[in-house]
Chains A and B, each alone.
Chain A
């Protein structure tokens, strides 16, 4: 099992550009999450999904969009990138009640907006 994979690892965007961060998991988990981590801060939840076709906002959703067309994939879309979106983005997945919702994380995408 590869677990949770994310692409790209690094990206530099200019202000106003758009991009999609890719996330795939091969553990057949229903739950998937996107977080951002700013220096010296904890992780903040951007969006999450409890299954294909179902998504919901977390703490900091503004400026982002998500979709969940399959169990495996949960892409995060940035529209009109702003310097405030410079951060490290982590995707995670977890099973449901029977697995206690233990979270597994991808390696992260380091994004710089200039």
Chain B
């Protein structure tokens, strides 16, 4: 069974700092990996999706990388802002693409 781990569970940084969130998974036979943002009491917003054949994806200040062989993904956030404060979740799908396994998330606080 696929296990997804996110470390650290919580992270606090001053505004303007660059930061990296980590996601690891136990089974490298994945179809894709998706990063989400969740604000308190809200649903999940998709940030980036990386297909298994890709190494990275970028959107604005966000860059996600994927190393399937080592079972790792990172989400890089440049020049962090207080509005980036949220919980960040990663999820991987099996080869059929239709079942996702989620990590428990990293709670990010950006201090003004």
Contact = CB atoms under 8 A, between A and B. Distances in A.
Interface of A: 31, 33, 35, 40-45, 48, 50, 58, 90, 92, 94, 96-97, 100-108
Contacts, number: 59
B43 A107 contact: yes
- Give the residue among A44, A100, A102 with the most B Cβ atoms within 10 A: A100
B28 interface: no
B49 A100 contact: yes
B104 A42 contact: yes
A104 B104 contact: no
Q: 7 closest pairs, A vs B, by CB?
A: A42-B102, A101-B97, A105-B44, A43-B102, A107-B43, A42-B104, A105-B43
Nearest to A42: B102
B18 to A, nearest CB: 26
A33 B98 CA distance: 9
A57 B14 CA distance: 43
A31 B93 CA distance: 13
10 contacts: A31-B98, A40-B104, A43-B100, A45-B100, A100-B49, A101-B93, A102-B32, A102-B49, A103-B46, A107-B42
A102 B42 contact: no
B42 A108 contact: yes
A102 B104 contact: no
